[in-house]
Amino acid sequence: MSEDGVAILEREVRELVRRRGLDPVQDAAGFRALVDEAQADYSDRSTRGVVPALDDPGAAARTVRDAVGGLGPLQRYLDDPDVEEVWINNPAQVFVARAGRPELTTTILTPEQVRDLVERMLKASGRRLDLSSPFVDACLPGGERLHVVIPDVTRDSWAVNLRKHVVRASSLDDLVRLGSLTQHSAAFLDAAVRAGLNLLVAGGTQAGKTTMLNALAGSIPASERVLSCEEVFELKLPVRDWVAMQCRQAGLEGTGEIPLRRLVKEALRMRPDRIVIGEVREAEAFDLLVALNAGVPGMCTVHANSAREAVTKMTTLPLLAGENVSDRFVVPTVASAIDVVVHLGVDSVGRRTVREIVAVTGRVEEGRVECATIFRHDGAALRRADGFPPHPERFARTGVDVAALLAEPLRARPGHSAEPARPASPWLSGVPAESGMR
């Protein structure tokens, strides 16, 4: 393929886009038609010797589409369904992750290309990146999450992370089919969500917390109104009555910032039947506890190495809300507000799976919140332990005998198969299987 020919075609396409006022992102179909039209016209002229011939017109058109309407050399990784994440340590080191494992690619960029790609990605987000704000966290139009850090916070190169997130599981049954939950445990979680219990999803980075949150939301009754709060839009809840909100950075004047704490407070004024928090990291844990303690059912995620560590973390994060917040309030509030913890893990080969499901009993012993394991992964499968969830009366109001549900092997529910689950698979990898996790 002649590089000169591709460069000429790209220049002509850019000029056509400018003249027609076409937005390649917002009008993808129109942009594709424009490129095809330009490539056909170019090929016609090349047969007359007016311009250099293209060795592969189809490949040339793809290259131009990626360069003008996509992310240039990175676009092929975004289009690859096996790639979960792309990151740039420096222009000569572009990595991708497949099935949880990192790979160094052959792509080599220039510092100017990296900056141009970041500026292009941020254009539609309304977020900025400069010396006064050297970090940025943004969501791209395609749903990917972008995080960038620039010098002098980094040593000498821009550090770029681009995380793909395509929802692969919109219900717990999807996770059963993927082999990540047993039918027994999925039936319990489904009943817990419908009963209005408060769930905490815990795990490490890339363990699949967001996907689990999406799958759990698939059990929310259709009549409920859901409010979600996130730092950056990632959730894609399968809910009809849903309002999604994200945080906002401060403007150039240093004003206008909207933190997660503010979103949680505002959500409570919007008549929620249920509240979903993308991730709890800091003092917003206090506002979430207040909301849950006020009777609004909710779910959230948190980074933790085990279910019990997640509960412990929820007893310490609210203390960041102010000196007047003490553990005498926080610990019993956590014990009464959080009902079930779902912990996710990643094994040595990159498989993501549910490691344990733990109940918070509501009791506090010597300043520690008491927990009971309901399901535990024994290395082969997720199996029933001896714990029971709190609030059996809530299950009863939805017509579920939770003791019977947990005591007996799962019978087939109406419309659901009773076949045993398949072996665990990398379900939270962010790879589309038409329907994702991260």
What is the distance between the alpha carbons of residues 170 and 436, in angstroms, rounded to a whole number? 8
Name the DSSP class of 404: H
**How far is it, in rounded angstroms, from Cα 216 to Cα 213?**
5
- Predicted pLDDT at 420: 42
Which distant-in-sequence residues (6+ apart) come within 8 Å of 230 by Cβ? Answer: 244, 245, 246, 247, 260, 277, 278, 279
Structure tokens at 260: 């997660």
Find the helix or strand (DSSP H, E) in which 147 lies.
strand 145-149
- pTM of the entire structure? 0.80
Residue 383 φ/ψ, nearest 5 degrees: -120, 155
CA pair distance 187, 387, nearest whole angstrom? 16
| pLDDT (0 to 100) of residue 408 | 61
pLDDT of residue 429: 36
CA–CA separation, 139 vs 46, rounded Å?
A: 41
137: number of Cβ within 10 Å: 16
Return d(Cα 199, Cα 359) in angstroms, integer: 9
* pLDDT averages per 10-residue partition of the chain, 438 residues: 75 91 86 92 91 89 89 91 93 90 94 93 81 86 88 94 78 88 95 97 90 94 95 88 92 83 94 95 94 92 96 96 91 96 85 92 93 94 94 96 82 44 39 36
State the greatest distance between any 2 C-alpha atoms of the chain, in Å, as a whole number.
87
Q: Give kind and range of the element (H or E) at residue 86.
A: strand 83-90
- Report the chain's terminal Cα–Cα distance, integer Å: 37
Cis status of the peptide bond prior to 41, with omega within 30 of 0:
no
Residue 301 · residue 343 · CB < 8 Å: no
Residue with tokens 């095809």: 36
Q: In what order do the strands lie in the sheet with 145-149?
A: 101-104, 93-98, 83-90, 159-163, 145-149, 135-139
Tally of residues, the chain: 438
pLDDT of 409 = 60
Q: Please, are residues 318 and 283 in contact by the beta-carbon 8 Å criterion? A: yes
